[in-house]
Structures are given as C-alpha cells and as structure tokens.
Chain A
C-alpha cells in the first residue's frame, strides 16, 4: 500500500507542475526559437495543418489563457502517464508478468 502511494504522489507532483505551475512559465522564445529569430529563419517554420487536440498547449475554446494552459497540462500529464505505462507493459519481460 505504501508503494502504491508513491505512484500516486509522483503523479500528483507531475499534475501540480502541469496544472498550477505551467500558466506561469516564461513566454520568452526558447533557445532554438531565439536563434531562428536572430538569424532570420523563423519565417521558414510552417504549420503542418494536421488536426490536433490541444494546439500550442492551450485547450481550445477556453478564453482564459491560464486556464487553457492548465487544462492542457492536466490532459498532457494524464496521457503521457498512460502512454508510458502502456509501453512499459508492452516491453516488460513476459516471464515476470
């Protein structure tokens, strides 16, 4: 039971970061974007045009930007947790299951 808790605690920490810290992240360009701006190749970036669930970490239809980011963080953390668990199940040794 104690060990079960550490999974829950770990996931909660990830959720707190993804939901409550993410709206306050710096919106400055990252290293690569900055270089692309400074060296004049940022305009080469194109949108793939593929449909996506949550483009640019903002949940669609939510006007409050901070809330849209929080929702994106919540969904992203849950999806990533689930996907990594599923992959872990696929790759784990059969005999030890």
Chain B
C-alpha cells in the first residue's frame, strides 16, 4: 500500500508529513521515558523480520497481491509506541534505499501504515483482549482492522488530493484490502503463536544480549 510520488497533492503530502512527524516525535519522547534497553535487540530483530516479510507478496484473488504490513504484529509484541518507530524506520529505508513509496508520500505512508494501522489495530486488539494475552482471535481481528484502516486513510488522502473521487476509490481499496487483511491476520497470528510457543520469555522481557 506504499503510495508513490505523484498520487498526492502538495497540501496533502505536506500536512501528512506534519502529522507523522509530530506523532513519531511524540512516540520517541514517550519511549525515552519507558523503553527498556533490554528490548533493543528485539526491536532490531522485529524490524528486520517485518522488512523481510513485507517483501513477500502473496497472491490474492484476480491477479492482485498483498503483503504483510506488520503494524499490529509489532504493536502486540512491543507496544504501540515502539511499533510506530519500527514501522517508520522500515518505511524510511524502503523509501530511500529501495524507492518503494514516494519521497513526498513518505509522511502519508508513515501515517497510514505506521500510525493509523498501529493504533487502529492495537485499539481493536486491546478491546477484544483487555488483558493483553496475545489471544489469536483478538490478534487476527486487530491485524485485519489495521489493514482496512490504512486502506481507508490512503483512500481519503487520494481523494483529498483530487487524484480520484472518494466514492470511486474507497470501495475499490476496501474490496482488495478486506481480502489482503485476512492474510495480515493469519501471518500475525502464526508468527506470534510461534514465538509464544518456542520463546515465551521474549514476549515478557525482550531479548538480552
């Protein structure tokens, strides 16, 4: 769902860069107060894993593909503030090293996949799993919602930019991302169930060197 250069007009890309910068800045400030240094390696591994997983496009119906975003995966394992930072790091690397996602669209891509997907998915996950037990059903629904909300946000940005009318882009974006979100849910549940089974202590304490 990486928006390329040219899809967003100036007011939209400037304002999304603003919103994303403020949100990520707030996240960094928050983490500086509470981030445990023992979790540094986990942050590295999780970011590397999500980057790799994002390269794996899986085919969905009718000649279209999707790939993991990973926002809820990161948020469920490390919390939403760390997830925002992990997702932003990945999106910045993808933008400047791999030309995946436009430079002017970087703010929008961080907003959609790093902030809205993270918080939207995490809110729903915690609503369904108040004790934060990494319950598969809550993870699945949270992951699915994170993709659908990111698609909704991208649709709004495209429409506000005058690229395509909202009534045209929204149903089309939702149609595909409702399906792609199922893949997101399955991968998120599988990965977290695997970690929970083989290394449950990682989810409690992070990884120590």
Chain A contacts to B: CB under 8 angstroms: 3-4, 6-7, 10-11, 13-15, 17-18, 21-22, 25-32, 34-36, 38-39, 41, 44-48, 50, 52-57, 69, 72-73, 75-85, 87-93, 96-97
Given contacts A17-B55, A29-B65, A84-B89, 8 further A-B contacts (CB under 8 A): A11-B44, A30-B180, A46-B4, A69-B55, A79-B97, A81-B48, A92-B36, A92-B40
Interface assignment of B15: CB less than 8 Å from any CB of chain A: no
Q: Name 10 interchain pairs, CB-CB below 8 A, sorted by A.
A: A10-B207, A25-B55, A26-B59, A48-B5, A72-B98, A81-B47, A84-B44, A84-B86, A85-B43, A96-B36
Q: Nearest Cβ distance between residue B103 and chain A, in whole angstroms?
A: 5
Smallest CB gap from B195: residue in A: A10
* Interchain CA distance A28-B66 in the complex, whole Å: 9
Pick from B27-35, B114-122, B124-132, B133-141 the stretch touching chain A.
B27-35
* Interchain CA distance A87-B103 in the complex, whole Å: 21
Q: Which DSSP category, helix, strand, loop or mixed, fits chain B's interface?
A: helix
The answer, among B28, B32, B56, B207, for a CB contact under 8 Å with A22, is B56
Q: Which DSSP category, helix, strand, loop or mixed, fits chain A's interface?
A: helix
Which residues of chain A are near B177, meaning CB under 8 Å?
Answer: 31
The answer to whether A17 touches B56, judged by C-beta atoms less than 8 angstroms apart, is yes
